[in-house]
Amino acid sequence: MKIVISSGHGLHVRGANNFIDEVNEARRVVSQVVKYLKELQVEVIEYHDNTSKTQRDNINRIVALHNSLERDLDVSVHLNAASKTDDPRGVEVLYVSESGRVIAEKVSDAIARASGLRNRGAKKRSDLGFLNNTKKTAIIIEVCFVDSKADVEIYHNKFNEICKAIAESLTGKETEGVTTVQAPKAEVKTEVVTKPSESKPASSGNSYIKKFQEWLKNEYKYQIALDGIFGPKTKKIALMALQTELNRQFNAGLIVDGIWGPRTKDAILTVFSGAKGNITRVIQGMLYCLGYDPKGFDGIFGNGTYFAVIAFQKNNKLTQDGVVGKNTFAKMFK
C-alpha cells in the first residue's frame, strides 16, 4: 500500500486558529502518523506546502503533488472550526467517493475510540477541491475543533493515540514500538532563565546571552561586547542580524540599521515549528535575552523553542499559537 499524506493549508495560507493553530497541529499530526506508517512498513510520502501565497494556489499545489505520485490513497489532515466553546464537538472524516466513505468511517471511528473525541462520523462533501481533483481514493481528516476547549484538551492528552489510530485504520495493521511524542499544549509554562539586570550588570553576565553575542559577532562580524548582558546594543545587533537574513534569504531590500520600522515589519515572514537556520537562531537568542528558555541555541525550531514562544506570547498578551510572526517579532524588538 502506498499513501500520500499532506497537511491542510500552508505556511503562507493559514487555516483556523483559536485554542490551537490548525496549520501547526496538522503538520504535527501528519509527521507522527508518518512515523507510525513507516513502522508498519507502509510506503508513505509526507507533504507540507511552504510555497503558495493564495488559497487557490495552495489547493492546486497540494492536488498536483498528490497526482504526480504513484499511490493508492490520498489523505489530507485538517482541524475543524465553528465557534468558540467549552463543549465537545468531535472528529469527522470527509469523503466524496464510495471507496472514500468506507475508509472515512473506519478512520473516524478509530480516532473516536482511541481518544474519547465525539465521533461525528464520515461526511460526504462534493464541494472540496482536494476530494474532487485527486485521482485516487481520497479522504480529509478533521481531527478535532480548534475552538472547542474540550476537544483541544483531549487532543493534547491523546495526541499519540490519535495518530496511531489514524495509521492503523488506514492500513488495517497494528503498530508497536514507535517512539511517541508529546503534543504541545497552549498553556504549558516553560522554564524561565534568569534575566540579567541591565542597570546592575553581573560580573560575568548570563552564559546563554553571552553565547548569543558570540554568535552575532562571529556570524555577522558585528562589534559587540561579550558580557552576557542584554541591553540596547545587543537588541539592535540582533535586529540587524534578522534584517541581514531577510535580505540574504528573501531579497527583502532592507537597510540593515537595527531599527524596527514599517519596512522591516512588512518583510517579516512567519516562523514556526520545524524551521531551521539563522532566523530561528535569532529567535532563540532573543528568547534567552528576554528571559525564556528555548532549550537550545541550535537554529532548530523544536518543542523547546515552541514552548518558550508560547510563554512569551502569553506574558505579552499575544495569540498563544507558538508561531513567530509580525506581532511576536514586534514585541521582541520594539
Phi then psi dihedrals of residue 294, to 5 deg: -80, 5
Is residue 111 within a helix (H) or strand (E), and if so which, with residue range?
A: helix 98-115
Query: What pLDDT, on a 0 to 100 scale, did the predictor assign at position 303?
Result: 85
Average pLDDT over residues 27-46: 94
With a cut of 90, say whether residue 64 has pLDDT above it.
yes
Phi then psi dihedrals of residue 138, to 5 deg: -135, 145
The percent of residues in the chain predicted with pLDDT above 90, rounded, is 81
Give the model's confidence band at 190: pLDDT under 50 very low, under 70 low, under 90 confident, else very high: very low
Give the model's confidence band at 200: pLDDT under 50 very low, under 70 low, under 90 confident, else very high: very low
Query: What pLDDT, on a 0 to 100 scale, did the predictor assign at position 175?
Result: 66
Query: What pLDDT, on a 0 to 100 scale, did the predictor assign at position 176?
Result: 59
Give the model's confidence band at 178: pLDDT under 50 very low, under 70 low, under 90 confident, else very high: very low
Q: Euclidean distance between the first and final Cα of the chain, in Å?
A: 52
- Per DSSP bridges, beta strands 73-80 and 91-95 are unpaired
With a cut of 60, say whether residue 188 has pLDDT above it.
no
**pTM, to two decimals:** 0.58
User: What cell numbers appear for 109 in the block?
Assistant: 471511528
- Per DSSP bridges, beta strands 2-10 and 73-80 are parallel
In one-letter notation, the amino acid at residue 116 is: G
Q: Which residues contact 126 (CB under 8 A, 6 or more apart)?
A: 96, 132
Q: Which residues contact 224 (CB under 8 A, 6 or more apart)?
A: 213, 216, 217, 233, 234, 237
Query: What pLDDT, on a 0 to 100 scale, did the predictor assign at position 36?
Result: 95
Pick from 196, 63, 79, 82: nearest CA to 134: 63
